[in-house]
Amino acid sequence: MSNKSLGIAFIGAGEISILHGRAVREIPDAHLVGLWNRTESRAIERAEEEGCRRFATPEELVNDPEVDAVIICTNLETHLEYAELAMKAGKDVLVEKPLCGTVAEVEQMKKTALETGKICMPGHNMIHEASLQRAKKLIENGDLGNVVSCYVLYNIYHDEQRASTLPGVVRQLLTHHLYTLMYLVGRPVRAQAFKTTRNHLQPDHEDLTMVNLELESGALGHLCASFAADDLSPGPWTFTVKVIGSAGTTHYTYNDWVEVKKGISHSHTYTAYQDTITNEVRQFVELCRAREGEPSSTLDDAVWAQKSLEAIEKSIAEGITADIK
């Protein structure tokens, strides 16, 4: 393993790049070399904020010898193109979630990672949370007995302006729920789902979805993803994960750490959110330096998350229980 600081660059410098920038600053053996963004004014602004270089093109960025690894922070539709560009230029990649728009695209990304021998780590940040890692250990050790059910619930209001720049919550959010559920309690095999638009103007941008899942183990899962309203109750389901077992339970919530200042897209700053991104980037840097080991959530998990998402969409469209296979 080299002692040299790992040079990182960002392709895409929108909102999420702010959290990645902070993550890289917190990791001693990595540094931000520079960034590229399609809109130049935004690239200038973010490069000044980060005190880093600004590349004229993605090609210039991936071919720069100071860049060892690339974080892909563009919109979902361009993840595959830029991840492949970087891997083929010999760079490791961390790709924001959702990795791609189709199962075939995620499989293509995996194929390129295998062919180039480069690390391609899914940006599955929520599981890089210490409480969930402890929960996983308890489940794996059998300390919770038989897992009965797993709940992943997300209720964070997004204003009209922000919501209009994102896909509906099925595409924008459910990936988080699916890889988190799989990390803790294993794969889902059947899905039943609904979606609706309750508090936003674009009817095709659903702002609420609820999903019931049958898991490979026989346990059941429930997912809720909402941009429609904040949960202002005394026990809010802002971002909450609960696993109930025959011999114990675990519970994790964003609301244990709340700062009264606006977060990216959120009315408050949920401290744990930044930490999940920082821990994720830390694991990416460790993998890039060690050249061995697997991320906590793999490309195979990303493939299954995408299959699950497509089954959920089928269930919604056809009003059926859909198999995930």
DSSP letters of 209-226?
EEEEEEETTS-EEEEEEE
| CB nearer to ligand NAD: pick between 178 and 215 | 178
Nearest CA to 206 out of 236, 174, 237 is that of 174
| CB nearer to ligand NAD: pick between 7 and 12 | 12
| CB nearer to ligand NAD: pick between 116 and 172 | 172
Q: DSSP character for 5?
A: P
Measured torsion, CA atoms of residues 262, 266, 267, 272, in degrees rounded to the nearest 10: -70
Q: C-beta of 237: minimal distance to ligand NAD in Å?
A: 17
| CB nearer to ligand NAD: pick between 13 and 113 | 13
Q: C-beta of 186: minimal distance to ligand NAD in Å?
A: 22
| CB nearer to ligand NAD: pick between 11 and 211 | 11
Starting at the edge strand that comes first in sequence, how are the strands of the sheet with 30-36 ordered? 53-54, 30-36, 6-11, 69-72, 92-96, 120-123
| CB nearer to ligand NAD: pick between 163 and 219 | 163
Q: C-beta of 116: minimal distance to ligand NAD in Å?
A: 21
Give the pairing of strands 188-196 and 53-54. Answer: unpaired
From residue 254, how far is each of 122, 144, 276 by CA, in Å? 22, 22, 11
Q: C-beta of 53: minimal distance to ligand NAD in Å?
A: 16
Q: C-beta of 199: minimal distance to ligand NAD in Å?
A: 19
Q: C-beta of 70: minimal distance to ligand NAD in Å?
A: 13
Q: C-beta of 162: minimal distance to ligand NAD in Å?
A: 9
Q: Which residues bind ligand NAD (CB under 6 A)?
A: 12-16, 37-39, 73-76, 78, 96-97, 123, 125, 165
CB 120 within 8 A of CB 93: yes
Nearest CA to 294 out of 176, 183, 175 is that of 183
CB 76 within 8 A of CB 306: no
| CB nearer to ligand NAD: pick between 92 and 96 | 96
CB 299 within 8 A of CB 113: yes
Alpha helices (H) along 89-168: 103-116, 130-141, 160-164
71 three-state secondary structure: strand
C-alpha triplet 244, 231, 320: angle, nearest 5°: 60
Select the residue whose beta carbon is closest to ligand NAD and give its number: 14
